[in-house]
Homo-oligomer: A and B are copies of this chain.
């Protein structure tokens, strides 16, 4: 029988981290051997032989976590936010110095959201028009969501690479805000609605037809299965990988 992968969770007591803890515990092929939170020492990860860590902490501690883990030969699956090019570059350097260690940093682990973004990029060259509408609960602080912005950027890049012209839009008279936010030429609309969780709709149109790709998160644990996929596969992808889609062969 294959031995189980030894997993440590950083940020284990947070809302997201505790869902990951439950998910790892429920998975037959994974063994939870360390739960680290704010004041715990990272040395414990080494002591118990952690092979893969999952990091859902905060932007101000995640880099220290990664430096420690990579240098101690531990693969990393990271959902913490706040990464920019400079941080990616630093992580790449650490990986280069630590032969064979894999790091997956993903802004979104919900498989339905990851596929929506991937399909949106693939579809983009075949449609004159594309817009994004996202729907979230009204307690969300930012609009549009980070996922919607990334989706729009992906569409914009695919259109540029295909040499497409700007989308047709004859609007002359408009109420302020009616046509949404402009993200690299792709319009993005954000709806805030009590009762909703997190939903994204990407709409493409061309002559006599449209294509809609919609993702619905009904609960707060839609990211768990994507995180577990990351844990299982990170050792097979040495170096830095950004985005879970790279693991899905898309």
Contact = CB atoms under 8 A, between A and B. Distances in A.
Interface of A: 110-113, 115-116, 119, 122-123, 126-129, 131, 133, 135, 138-144, 149, 167-183, 187-197, 203-222, 224-225, 248, 250
B178 A143 contact: yes
A177 B180 contact: yes
B191 A171 contact: no
| Number of copies of this protein chain within its complex | 4
Given A173-B142, A181-B177, A188-B178, A216 B210 contact: yes
A247 B133 CA distance: 30
Given A142-B174, A212-B213, A213-B213, A205 B193 contact: yes
11 contacts: A111-B211, A133-B189, A140-B171, A141-B172, A142-B172, A144-B175, A167-B194, A168-B194, A176-B182, A178-B180, A195-B207
Contacts of A175: 143-144, 149, 181-183, 188
B212 A225 contact: no
